[in-house]
């Protein structure tokens, strides 16, 4: 099995991009990723591609959703869907193929038109409406899990709000972010209620956007860059509350399983990680993920986020240095591509100056699809500046 490195990473600005088509967004993200390869790359160098999207519109319903905007025909293109872990799962699938020798150079592209397409309308209303037809929204599902965590572990409303304060502080400094404003704990707690106990500033925006990475095998990495970011480990798992496990009601069992796989493959522990880019569709999502990724004990996520300890750049362990889903962006592949790109930039020392973590050597990018305590799929990636 060969080592695999990221040599190119590009994205577009996220937001309500009514003036851009799906193909417009995907094309620009692809071109930005190619431009990021410091020794240059030709489209003809790419052996295979992976395409992550939840969009069900005709232009994105197969691998052609990647081929049309990029011009990459007559090669294997695999479309991947895994809810909000879609991007990270597509990336992991590409890495495994390159490791195994079926490609030397691969493209991974994620795109989502959330604001003005059929797929976006379904995702924005609620995936659960589609799955179960009961009219339950995603904020309601996550709100229920927030109250469970608060009841079971004594987590306070103010501690949950600290996640939003941190991410908005980071996002206010990030040039691609959808929202670029700061807020206080009181601002979060006093913002309009969406579903108890989650208010407006506890919830991610619904955005359009696209992002892409180029990965290569160790055999050809020197042709493309002198500064690769290596994929040290990955994990992928699924779980559901229907298995009857009490622990799932206030956490992500699949996240724990995926993290264990990734840490074992990379031969690290959570203590070795310098920066973490994790899924945060709601504030409670990130708080619970602290625990399930092994950064603190179960029930201690509220205390873990207090006091600026997770703030970029100088906190003990900076989380979501690009602002995360809460203010940067949340298309359907949110759990993956932009998390990976921010981790790559941190490891290269090329992140936005106000949030660049000093001496960053090991980063984690994590996506969770589904909902706390219902049905979920999680993908964890460990990236390193060195092999």
Token look-up 């207090």 returns: 306
Q: SS3 letters for the chain?
A: CCCEEEEEEEECCCECCCCCCHHHHHHHHHHHHHHCCCCCCCHHHCCEEEEECCCCCHHHCCCHHHHHHHCCCCCCEEEECECECHHHHHHHHHHHHHHHCCCCEEEEEEEECCCCCHHHHHHHHCHHHHHHCCCCCHHHHHHHHHHHHHHHHCCCHHHHHHHHHHHHHHHCCCCCCCCCCCCCHHHHHHCCEEECCEEHHHECCCCEEEEEEEEEECCCHHHCCCCCEEEEEEEEEEEEHHHCCHHHHHCCHHHHHHHHHHHHHHCCCHHHCCEEEECCCEHHHHHHHHHHCCCCCCCCHHHHHHHHCCCCCCCCCCECCCCHHHHCCCCCCCCCHHHHHHHHHHHHCCCCHHHCCCCCCEEEEEEEEECCCCEEEEEEEEEECCC
Residue 126 Cα distances to 25, 83, 140, angstroms: 24, 12, 10
Q: Return d(Cα 188, Cα 251) in angstroms, integer.
A: 22
Q: Return d(Cα 146, Cα 344) in angstroms, integer.
A: 31
Q: Is 149 a catalytic residue?
A: no
Q: Which of 281, 330, 360, 366 is catalytic?
A: 330
Between strands 209-217 and 4-11, the pairing is: antiparallel
Tokens, residue 307: 């006091």
Q: Is 84 a catalytic residue?
A: yes
* Closest by CA position to 50, among listed 82, 24, 14: 82
Q: Which residues are catalytic?
A: 84, 330
């Amino acid at each position: 099995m060969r080592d695999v490195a990221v040599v190119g990473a590009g994205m577009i600005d996220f937001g309500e991009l009514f003036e851009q088509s799906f193909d417009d967004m995907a094309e620009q993200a692809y071109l930005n990723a190619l431009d990021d390869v410091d020794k240059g790359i030709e489209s003809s160098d790419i052996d295979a591609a992976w395409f992550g999207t939840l969009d069900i519109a005709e232009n994105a319903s197969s691998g052609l959703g990647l081929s049309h905007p990029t011009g990459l025909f007559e090669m294997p293109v695999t479309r991947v869907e895994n809810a909000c872990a879609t991007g990270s799962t597509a990336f992991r699938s590409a890495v495994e193929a390159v490791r195994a020798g079926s490609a030397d150079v691969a493209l991974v592209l994620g795109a989502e038109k959330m604001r003005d397409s059929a797929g976006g309308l379904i995702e924005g209303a609620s995936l659960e409406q589609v799955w179960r037809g009961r009219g339950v929204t995603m904020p309601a599902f996550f709100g229920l899990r927030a109250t469970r965590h608060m009841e079971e572990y004594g987590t306070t409303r103010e501690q949950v709000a600290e996640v939003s304060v941190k991410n908005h502080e980071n996002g206010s400094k990030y040039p691609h972010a959808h929202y670029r404003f700061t807020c206080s704990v009181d601002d979060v707690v006093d913002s309009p209620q969406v579903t108890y106990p989650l208010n407006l500033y506890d919830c991610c925006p619904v955005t359009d956007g696209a992002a892409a990475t180029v990965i290569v095998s160790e055999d050809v990495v020197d042709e493309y860059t002198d500064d690769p970011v290596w994929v040290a480990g990955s994990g992928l798992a699924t779980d559901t509350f229907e298995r009857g496990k009490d622990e799932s009601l206030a956490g992500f069992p699949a996240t724990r399983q995926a993290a264990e796989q990734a840490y074992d493959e990379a031969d690290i522990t959570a203590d070795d990680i310098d920066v973490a880019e994790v899924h945060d569709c709601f504030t409670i999502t990130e708080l619970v993920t602290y625990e399930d990724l092994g950064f603190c004990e179960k029930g201690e996520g509220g205390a873990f986020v207090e006091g600026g300890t997770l703030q970029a750049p100088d906190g003990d362990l900076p989380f979501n240095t690009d602002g995360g889903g809460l203010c940067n962006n949340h298309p359907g592949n949110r759990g993956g591509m932009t998390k990976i790109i921010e981790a790559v930039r941190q490891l290269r020392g090329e992140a936005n100056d106000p949030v660049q973590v000093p001496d960053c050597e090991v980063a984690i990018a994590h996506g969770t699809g589904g909902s706390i305590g219902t049905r979920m799929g999680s993908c964890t990636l460990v990236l390193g500046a060195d092999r």
